[in-house]
Amino acid sequence: MRDQIYAAPLPEVSGFAFDEAVARVFPDMIRRSVPGYTTIIPMIELITARYARAGTRLYDLGCSLGASTLAMRHGVKQRDCQLIGVDNSEAMLSQCRAYVEADSASAPVELVLGDIRDQVIDNASVVTLNFTLQFLPPQDRQPLLQTIFDGLQPGGVLILSEKICFNEPEQSIQEVLHHDFKRANGYSDLEISQKRTSLENVLITESIEAHQQRLKAVGFSQALVWYQCFNFVSMLAVKV
């Protein structure tokens, strides 16, 4: 379904939530809102193929409708790997289950309704946070990353995709280009404005440097940017 959640003027714009209305239009919303999303997903499959190890677990934290989960599932080439997708939205998980059941890959997938901050990470080779960390309060981000690092096997990786911010004047330039991207995908100025208002204090961005410093602080030996388009990036953090 086409995303028209913010197409009409709203008397009051409430905070963004991953509810049933968003779940219905989420594939269209994220494709038209996030530059490079349609590149990042297949590359998660490629990265998984490189780093997944036999007999380990692969986690998709904040799995939403399962795009990253299924990319990881198709990337698994090793034996006895288990995928675990975690999300706190029943509306999103309900549709995710349908996508997983219709998928042709064979690696087992467990979907968990819960808070990713409470999820145990154990014997992992690949963990994905695909545009998820940005929705957590900043003070909760390092503890979660520490849990992920501690649960990864040596040689394991974290794929971290985020909307980011910059110092001025680059911030303004990147924002303008992002809005141009949305307009090119059919969003009106009203939709862009109302969506932006809904995300204030819900999605809190940080700089690339802040993410890299935090990843290094919890123990990752490398934290590199493998993809960037405007103010959206995907990073690869490696545990030696």
* Residues annotated within a binding site for S-adenosyl-L-methionine: 37, 62-64, 87-88, 115-116, 130, 196
**Residue 34, Ramachandran bin (φ over 0: left; ψ between -120 and 50: alpha; else beta):** beta
The sign of the dihedral angle between the CA atoms of 192, 90, 56, 49 is negative
The SS3 assignment for 11 reads: coil
Rounded Cα distance, 20 and 128, in Å: 23
CB 233 within 8 A of CB 225: yes
Reading the block at residue 179, the tokens are: 């809005």
Q: Is the peptide bond before 143 cis (omega within 30 degrees of 0)?
A: no
Packed helices 189-199 and 170-184: angle between N→C axes, nearest 10 degrees: 130
N-terminal to C-terminal alpha carbon distance within the chain = 43
Q: Which residues are annotated as a binding site?
A: 37, 62-64, 87-88, 115-116, 130, 196
